[in-house]
Amino acid sequence: MSRWRRWRGIVYGGMLALGIAGLPAGCAQEGAQPTRTLTAADTADQILQKMVHLVTTDGVLRTRVLADTAYLYDVSQLVRLKVVKVTFYDENGRETSTVVADSGLYHMNDGSMDAWGHVFATTPDGRRLRSSELRYDVAANQISSSREFTYDRGDQHLEGNGFTSDPDFRNVSTEQPRGGPGGEAGKPDKGFLLPGQ
């Protein structure tokens, strides 16, 4: 072997040794760290387009959930919904109310649901509810919101900062109510008869 090749081997070997020795020091440097790491729990197990989900009790339709897109997470039993429409039915299968929203979260284990973003609920007899969020609790058989809302029924107008009600909006309990029969929106009105009373 020539003298030049020996020196070149020693130089390259030394550079390699220095590089390997400096590797742990280079890895320990604080640099830009990702704010979030994508793991398997963050990704949907299934993605459905134009989802339809029917809930029945003793063969009678009780709830119909429609969504433009649904992201199903098997482990947590959650379904994240985009562009949602939920229709509720009574024990005889007659429609009692319909809720539409920009987004929602459906809990597969108990049938509860949260909706948010331009939530609009209606009943077949013309009652209307608007809010930025709505929660449906199956166990309690009630809907609620902790956000501002408006509710209209005929000439009655009600606003408030939160409410609790049955799914067909017959018995409504309101936090900080404003409005009333023929009353001005945004102003308190004593003597307002809540729907269902």
Hey, where are the domains in the chain?
46-181
* Residue bearing tokens 């809540």: 194
Residue 8: closest CA among 16, 125, 155: 16
Predicted confidence at residue 166, as pLDDT, reads 82
How do residues 83-138 score in pLDDT, each as one tens digit? 999 998 989 999 988 999 999 999 988 888 999 999 999 999 998 999 999 998 98
Q: Which long-range contacts (CB under 8 A, 24 or more apart) does 82-90 make?
A: 84/115, 86/113, 86/115, 86/136, 87/63, 88/62, 88/63, 88/167, 88/168, 89/60, 89/61, 89/62, 89/63, 89/64, 90/168
Predicted confidence at residue 29, as pLDDT, reads 57
Indicate the pLDDT class of residue 191, thresholds 50, 70 and 90. Answer: very low
Indicate the pLDDT class of residue 186, thresholds 50, 70 and 90. Answer: very low
- For 163-175, what is the mean pLDDT? 81
- For 134-149, what is the mean pLDDT? 91
Predicted confidence at residue 22, as pLDDT, reads 52
Indicate the pLDDT class of residue 30, thresholds 50, 70 and 90. Answer: low
Domain range 46-181, CATH class: mainly beta
In whole angstroms, what is the distance from residue 158 CA to residue 195 CA?
10
Higher pLDDT, residue 97 or 67: 67
Indicate the pLDDT class of residue 148, thresholds 50, 70 and 90. Answer: very high
Which residues are registered as beta bridge partners of 98? 87, 122
